[in-house]
Amino acid sequence: MTKYDASELAEIIEMLSFQHLDVRAVTMGINIMGAVRREDLGEGVRGIVERRAGNLSEVVKEVSSKLGVRIVTKRVAVTPVSSLLDARAEDPEGAGELGLSVAKALDSVARDLDIDYVGGYAAFVESGYSVGDRGLITSIPEALASTERIAAMVNAASTLSGINMDAVREMGGIIKRTAEMTGGGGCTRLGVFVNAPEGTPFVPGAYHGRGEEDPVINVAVSGPGVIESVVRSMEEADLRTLHDAMKRAAFKVTRLGELVGREVAKRLGVRFGSVDLSLAPSPAVGDSVADVLRAMGVEEPGAPGSVLALAILTDAVKKGGAMATSSVGGLSGAFIPVSEDLGMAEAVRRGALSLSSLEAMAAVCSTGLDMVVLPGDVGEDTVAAIIGDVMALGVVLDKSLGVRLIPVPGAREGDEVDFGGLLGRAPVMSVGRYSSRDLVMRGGVVPPAVSRLLKG
């Protein structure tokens, strides 16, 4: 990796000091399948994580101090737990009970090791259910209600397999039950995905994939404030010139992320995996993707031109990041989580940003519908229909997208809900007056799009 020259160092110092640049997450991927040999599955999982990640928190703090870079969270991503349950359980009920024991063991060891989140309480059901899948999905509400650091995800669709609408429909109910059991907070750790990739350092989409080394370090960067500063300094620039400037800024952000990731991996004696190029906003002033869009010339996110501006930004981030590292992974684009982005939440308050405009923007971003707060009385079928829309976008466009919806019991449209910390606060969004229940209730599998044929 090429060293920074003096001018680059000066720029990086300014980014770190005044533009909210940080490394959002250092995530260690761990294969926990070896736990199937232990009589007590939970203890087996705990032992593996302790051996692999025992020094992770300490090393991350050392690297943060040495490099002068704020590293916001330390995370672990494990093999999809449903695979572990398939190897041990004979029926869904037994799989659910085992799943809960694994979730609690992972939560306990994360607390002991000062790990902020554990991803991988996951099932992949785009082609149908296994025993482990059924048990895990059914257990999600209780698993999230009885833990603080576990993140759950279900991949319900893929370009190759189509959309499992039975799973989408079920997840509408799972999200509602999770909200009821946790006051909505548990839903901040629950996502439904299409084409979920390996090597994602962001929760709830993080899991350790079959193609990854064990263990491995993946890194998530930040940087909306850096990009906004560049855009605001170029008010008269045309879009090609602006794109080039954003690309150069993303290059520097990515280089910093890789530097941190490689240093952490070196000190732990494990392999460095990848950098997720996604710009991750936060509730802090000056750290907003929405404000980047405003600086580009969109009066409010959701206004006409929002998709165009977000597409330009996402492309610049991808190209700049790809020039900076050959180790690109995860989702890699631009995140637009409503409650976690102060500017996005404000656009909702002003009536500019709706579910429909967010869905349109999902076509060119990385996250889909993320951290969207819904009324407490929203129906399961409506939640499922919203998920289905995003699954369809992912399948047709052959891209990774996710859905993180948060129905808050007792909340009504326009109410403010505060989740605290990096999760932020946001108004409850309208779901409209009309229903697609009859469509959702048909169930079955939506076959893959014709683009599937291009994959051989």
Query: pLDDT digit string (tens) for 421-434?
Result: 989 999 999 999 99
Joined together, the tokens standing for residue 328 give 């690109």
**How many CB atoms are closer than 10 A to CB 81?**
29
**pLDDT confidence bin for 7, thresholds 50/70/90:** low
- C-alpha 424/C-alpha 282 separation (Å) is 7
Q: Which residues of 48-63 are buried (b: 16+ CB within 10 A; e: fewer)?
A: bbeebbeebbebbeeb
Q: What is the mean pLDDT of residues 209-219?
A: 93
What is the rounded CA–CA span in Å between residue 420 and residue 412? 19
Element (H, E) at 404: strand 401-408
HSE-CB for 103 with a 13 A CA cutoff: 28
What percent of the chain is modeled with pLDDT above 70? 96
Pinpoint the alpha helices (H) of 161-217: 165-182
Residue 50: which H helix or E strand, with range? Answer: helix 41-53
Amino acid at 279: L
**For 50-99, how does the pLDDT look when each residue is reduced to its tens digit (9 = 90+)?**
999 999 999 999 999 998 899 999 999 999 999 999 999 999 999 999 99
What is the per-residue pLDDT for 280? Answer: 87
Q: For residue 444, give the DSSP letter.
A: S
Sign of the C-alpha dihedral, residues 223, 228, 233, 236? positive
Examine the pLDDT at 9 and tell me if it is beyond 60.
no
CA-CA distances (angstroms) from residue 325 to 198, 277, 376?
Answer: 17, 10, 44
Residue 27: the pLDDT is 98
- Reported as a pLDDT band with limits 50, 70 and 90, residue 20 is low
pTM assigned to the model: 0.94
Whether 17 shows a pLDDT value over 80: the answer reads no
pLDDT recorded at residue 122: 98
Res. 237: pLDDT tops 80: yes
Domain 27-194 has CATH 3.20.70.20: yes
259 has a pLDDT exceeding 70: yes
Strands (E), 146-302: 150-158, 162-164, 190-194, 216-221, 271-276
Q: What is the pLDDT of residue 366?
A: 81
3-state secondary structure of 279: strand
Sign of the C-alpha dihedral computed for residues 367, 371, 374 and 378 taken in this order: positive
**What mean pLDDT, rounded, does the chain reach?**
93
3-state DSSP percent of the chain in helix, strand and coil, to 5: 50, 20, 35
Q: What pLDDT, on a 0 to 100 scale, did the predictor assign at position 2?
A: 53
What is the separation, in whole angstroms, between the first and last Cα of the chain?
Answer: 36
- Cβ neighbours around 1 below 10 Å, total: 9
Beta 71-78 vs 117-124: how paired, if at all? parallel
In the prediction, which pLDDT does 37 show? 86
**pLDDT given for residue 21 in this prediction:** 82
Give helix 380-397 / helix 165-182 axis angle, nearest 10°.
130
Burial 311-339 (b: 16+ CB within 10 A, else e): bbbbbbbbbbbbebbebbbbbbbbbbbbb
Tens of pLDDT, residue by residue over 319-337, are 999 998 889 989 888 899 9
Delimit the domains of the chain by residue range. Answer: 1-26+220-330+332-339, 27-194
Give every CB contact of residue 40 below 8 A, 6+ residues apart in sequence: none
Cα distances (Å, whole numbers) of residue 401 to 148, 205, 277, 390? 24, 10, 15, 7
pLDDT at 5: 59
pLDDT reading at 369 higher than 60: yes
pLDDT reported for residue 334: 85
